[in-house]
Structure 1
Amino acid sequence: MMIRRVLIPLDGSELAEQVIPHLLRFITPDQTELLLMTALSSTSHSLVEDTPSLPASKQTAVSREHKARAQLYNITQKLNQIGFNVMDRLLSGIPAESILRLAEETFVDLIAMSTHGRTGLGRALLGSIADEVVCSARPPVFLAPAAITVKPGSVPRAILLPLDGTPLAEAAIPAARQFAQNTGATLSLIRVVRPNHSGHEQHDEQVSAGEQSDAHQAISYLERIQLQLQLANVPSHYQVASGNPAEVIIRTMHAENIDLIVMSTHGRSGVERMVYGSVTSRIIGNTTCPLLLVRGMVPVEVYESNDDRVSVASFC
């Protein structure tokens, strides 16, 4: 996937714009243009405006619009100075709906958002706006933790790609490969094998044999993925680990100084439906680097009865 246009939603806060320095590590002005946007919603007044009079409400709306326009202008100027072609939009409406609609209308390749800000993003669960964007957006979503700063000019060195052997998880491979090619970073492939626990007592040799079998299958799988990356001239290495997937991924992120984690999502009904389920939620809540969440298509088997036979149809 080529990143030709990125949509960056802002809300007038400094925290929301913290996604920009993270994003700039992975894109260049000659390949990518930026679209800044702010959606002004009548429901997003501050808590001190519970029962405003009409003049006060109008004054607040004007103040918010002025602040939003000033932020869009200032950021546009800064990005222009470093060579980026930048457009901006100030819209009215529900933020999540405005983001999704503009992303469709302008054919963006990526939506970049801060995982903290006025709307409460960045907790263990995403928060309503980012959750809806992640689950409904067709393009990938780049989520950056606003509390983590990046050194200016620092070059990404390592991208972590967790895989579980399913086609859904593999939907993230093209995006991870492209980001690695854009930056020269190494792809770190990881597959987590859960410990072989059973309800009855087993000898250590039996448990070990079962886990070794799973590990061998995982290694063969990752070697196949690595060969594909090698043919695309993308450097990579892999590891198979045993344990809780979220804990292993977070530990690996710290140990290898990962610059970006790329994962796929179901994109259907909230963070609970993401690949790894609650694993993704925990990673979002504990990450110290950006996440690139790629929407994957999930085959659904539908059984239909024809006479005495049952046929199976697969849908995405």
Structure 2
Amino acid sequence: MDVKLSTILVPHDGSTPAGQAVPYAAGLAAAVGGRVVLLRALPDATEIGRPEIRAAIDAAKADLAAIVKRLTDGGVTAEAHVYDGDAATAILRAARDQNADLLVMSTHGRSGLGRWIYGSVADDVIRHADTPILLVPPHCAHVWPGGRPARILVGLDGSDFSQRILPIALDLARVVGGRVHVARIVEIPPVGLAYADAYPAAMYPELDPTIELDAAREYIDRLTADLAARGIDIETTVVLGSSSGTIASIASEKSMDVIALATHGHGGLTRTVLGSVSTSVLRMSTVPVLLVRPAPIELSGETAPTATIER
């Protein structure tokens, strides 16, 4: 998957938290000359004969138009669309209609469009979207860097699956003019506890942290050497600790601009966005989190097409 930022889709429900995603989308679009597409989802929006629906559509279009004006006044190409239907379906449909290269979403807002992390909207979007998703935590006060390379922190757990985020992060760094820092987190599983989705056996043998750290360093050395042979220079960290807490700490200590994760792998990074690690990272992070699912789940029983309201 090559990262292109020609079109960046930003779902926006009109709330202040949802608006936090806009500056990041604008910063990325400005860096590469891309366009920002704003989206508002309104249930029953096709029933424009009802006065309350017509009023809601008009209010949504006026709100989005004001944001578009601010972006275009700042030199960013932008447009807005109002879609009929539930939030997740509207987001997925708009991503396809607009050929979105990236979704940028707030992790907190109101109504359906606000439940990115803790409700079904996030689950549906993450599982079915075939584009990377940049999630902006509600307490994120970080400003997208201007005038300097962006710093991208990649969290790896040693699995082939988690490593699939690396080419995407490297490509993003190339596109926006950034630098990648790879963190190999060594997480020792609790002895005697069963994690059926993460560990192959009910009883996991006790591991020697020294041996695990040495193996992790060898893994990073091989990775670094392979990239160096291709002319790619990265920074690295190998550390023992909990995946979520360590990733967030490294991002803060090293002044990272983005954290990049695959949605599942081995060990601490096994869980999907609604699982413990990614959710914890989002709760603790003060910078946006880029999530990529290398193999998106196909929708079964495709929902009827979502209407775009342009009247």
Measured against the shorter chain, the TM-score band is: 0.7 to 0.9
Once residues 137 and 60 of structure 2 are traced to their aligned partners in structure 1, the CA distance between those partners, rounded to angstroms, is 21
Structure-to-structure mapping, 1:3-152, within 5 angstroms: 3-28=5-30, 30-42=32-44, 58-119=50-111, 125-151=117-143
Structure-to-structure mapping, 1:187-206, within 5 angstroms: 187-195=180-188
> In the TM superposition, what whole-angstrom CA distance separates every residue of 1:144-173 from its partner, at most 9, and x where no partner exists?
124323447644542110111222212211
> In the TM superposition, what whole-angstrom CA distance separates every residue of 1:187-232 from its partner, at most 9, and x where no partner exists?
1111111247657xxxxxxx99932222122112222332344456
Gaps of 5+ in 1: 44-56, 200-206, 299-316
TM-score normalised to structure 2 length? 0.77
TM-score normalised to structure 1 length? 0.75
Once residues 278 and 131 of structure 2 are traced to their aligned partners in structure 1, the CA distance between those partners, rounded to angstroms, is 18
How far has the Cα of 1:133 moved from its partner? 0.9
Structure-to-structure mapping, 1:294-313, within 5 angstroms: 294-297=292-295
Contact 1:42 1:93 in 2 (8 A): yes
How far has the Cα of 1:40 moved from its partner? 0.6
Structure-to-structure mapping, 1:149-188, within 5 angstroms: 149-151=141-143, 154=146, 155=148, 157-188=150-181
Once residues 165 and 128 of structure 1 are traced to their aligned partners in structure 2, the CA distance between those partners, rounded to angstroms, is 29
Letter of the 1:79 counterpart = L
Letter of the 2:54 counterpart = V
Change (3 A) 1:226 1:276: farther
Aligned pair count? Answer: 275
> In the TM superposition, what whole-angstrom CA distance separates every residue of 1:29-80 from its partner, at most 9, and x where no partner exists?
654122221111149xxxxxxxxxxxxx944433322221012211212222
Contact 2:17 2:109 in 1 (8 A): yes
| Greater displacement, 238-247 / 122-131 | 122-131
| Greater displacement, 10-19 / 258-267 | 258-267
Contact 1:272 1:281 in 2 (8 A): no
Matched, 1:284 2:279: no
Letter of the 1:28 counterpart = A
Contact 1:36 1:88 in 2 (8 A): yes
**Quick check: which has more Rg, 1 or 2?**
1
- SS of equivalent residue, structure 1 residue 8: strand
Once residues 106 and 99 of structure 1 are traced to their aligned partners in structure 2, the CA distance between those partners, rounded to angstroms, is 10
- SS of equivalent residue, structure 2 residue 27: coil
Contact 1:264 1:275 in 2 (8 A): no
- SS of equivalent residue, structure 1 residue 108: coil
Change (3 A) 1:93 1:242: same
Letter of the 1:32 counterpart = G
- In structure 2, the partner of 1:248 is 246
Once residues 72 and 38 of structure 2 are traced to their aligned partners in structure 1, the CA distance between those partners, rounded to angstroms, is 12
Gaps of 5+ in 2: 193-204, 297-311
- In structure 2, the partner of 1:293 is 291
Measured on the aligned residues, the alpha-carbon RMSD in Å equals: 3.2
